[in-house]
Amino acid sequence: MENNTETKNEERTGWHRLLGLMMTPLFEKLGCEVTVEVDLSLKKQLLDVVVVRKHSSVLFDDLNPDYYEGFENLNEHNLISFKSFREVFNMDALEELYGHFTNYKKMKNLKEENNINLYAVTNHFPETLFNRFKETKLIEAIEKNKVYDLKVLTPVRFIITKDSNHPILGLFSNNIKQIILSRERLQHDGWLLQHTSTYLNKLYDHYNLQGVDMPYTREMFVKENYPEHYGQFLLGKQEGWQGGLQKGRQEGRQEGWQKGMQKGELTGKIQLLQQILKQPVSPKEALLAKNIDELQNIYIILEKEWKQVQN
């Protein structure tokens, strides 16, 4: 039970850390100082992101205002709590955010409260929490289904990301179509892509660990960062499909088709990574002569080397 709890905490930390790191360039562009995963309590409860405004010369209009939807009212100090698609922002989460708020004021020795903003970035609409206040005037819809202000004690700005095609926030969804739309937006912004590309593969790997299929992500990465090898990538996929189809027909079994396709695709990926890593490229015939387990072991080793190069 303890190990399961630790694993869940690690998974949660991974999502939250990636969100903070990938949003950092946007806030830094505004002249803000950003800190990810700030420990504000004795119980090791981490606040996801703290954004401190250092300069006031940069205006939202000078940038893409759509990137800052919900954050237009940034204050001198801004505390951001994030809930992924596996979490909900409930009353406990709200109380925790208020706890961070209190501890932050003490830590920074801030006497005034009106220079601190609180934000809740959440994939799911906080229906249960909002239902507590539905008969009051404490909830204001800034933009329906997207941005809300909860005016209880210190106001909290809620930013709902479920149907967002924001180039960063939209990537933290379990909706493949939404992820692809956000990924396409990110691809068209060279500056933002340059500052976040380091984390993209980590994000994709995290999705795979969560059981969310991420189609074309490796293909996207190769196309953008190694265009000279993109043809080889596609060739490997095509050869895998053709080889698998032929073997499946010969054996008359679905299993044969799947294994043949897997061998062909692994072969293409191995050759691609060998080229990218500037290693001798193994002949296709030699690779196809190996079994799937052998090919997978080779691919795993090469992929680890590739990630080390990226980092």
pLDDT per residue as tens digits for the range 183-219: 888 888 778 887 887 777 677 666 654 444 554 445 5
Cβ count within 10 A of residue 5: 9
CA distances from 122 to 34, 73, 208 (A): 19, 18, 21
What value, to the nearest 5°, has the Cα angle with vertex 61 and ends 57 and 66?
Answer: 125
CA distance 109 to 104: 8
- pLDDT for res 141: 94
Beta bridge partners of residue 50, listed in sequence order: 35, 79
- pLDDT for res 38: 67
Cβ count within 10 A of residue 209: 10
CA distance 229 to 214: 21
- pLDDT for res 119: 96
Q: How many residues does the chain have?
A: 311
Residue keyed to tokens 């969100």: 19
Token digits of residue 105? 């004021």
- SS3 string, 15-76, reads HHHHHHHHHHHHHHHCCEEEEEEEECCCCCCEEEEEEEECCCCCCHHHCCHHHHCCCCCCCC
- pLDDT for res 2: 40
Q: Coil, helix or strand for 304?
A: helix
83: closest CA among 39, 114, 122, 118? 122
- pLDDT for res 8: 45
Token digits of residue 222? 């190769």
CA distance 265 to 267: 5
270: closest CA among 239, 248, 224? 239
- Whether the model pTM is above 0.85: no
- pLDDT for res 235: 53
Spans of the chain below 50 pLDDT: 1-11, 42-44, 209-212, 215-217, 237, 241-245, 247-249, 251-254, 257
